[in-house]
């Protein structure tokens, strides 16, 4: 077990859940930390897919995506761009902790 593995999992799952809730709320214009530029329907759909991929990579490592620092780092940046600042930053911090292992 790596040094920061449990903290990485906790941050990634919380960030994925926040990003998923934020993307779902953005359909109704109620997003609390909108990270996308514009009001297209495609951006929240992409954010929902990214949030689900992050959650699944924590729950089932290796099935949709491996649970590694680089994957979390990339997913965190994409979530910040497409969906949620708060959720993306939490996933990004989990990815940085993955590099510290």
Q: Which two tokens stand for residue 35?
A: 């990270």
Q: Which two tokens stand for residue 3?
A: 């040094």
What global pTM score does this model have? 0.85
- Would the pLDDT of 61 be above 90? no
What pLDDT, in 10s, does the model give residues 7-59?
Answer: 999 999 999 999 999 888 887 777 666 555 556 778 888 889 999 999 999 99
User: In angstroms, rounded to a whole number, what is the distance separating the alpha carbons of residues 23 and 4?
Assistant: 28
């Amino acid at each position: 077990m790596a040094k920061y593995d449990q903290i990485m999992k906790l941050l990634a799952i919380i960030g994925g859940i926040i990003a998923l809730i934020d993307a779902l709320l953005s359909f109704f214009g109620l997003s609390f930390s909108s990270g996308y530029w514009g009001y297209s329907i495609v951006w929240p759909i992409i954010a929902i897919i990214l949030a689900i991929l992050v959650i699944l990579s924590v729950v089932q490592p290796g099935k949709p995506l491996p649970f590694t620092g680089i994957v979390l780092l990339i997913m965190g940046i994409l979530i910040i761009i497409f969906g949620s600042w708060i959720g993306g930053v939490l996933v990004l911090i989990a990815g940085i902790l993955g590099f510290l292992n």
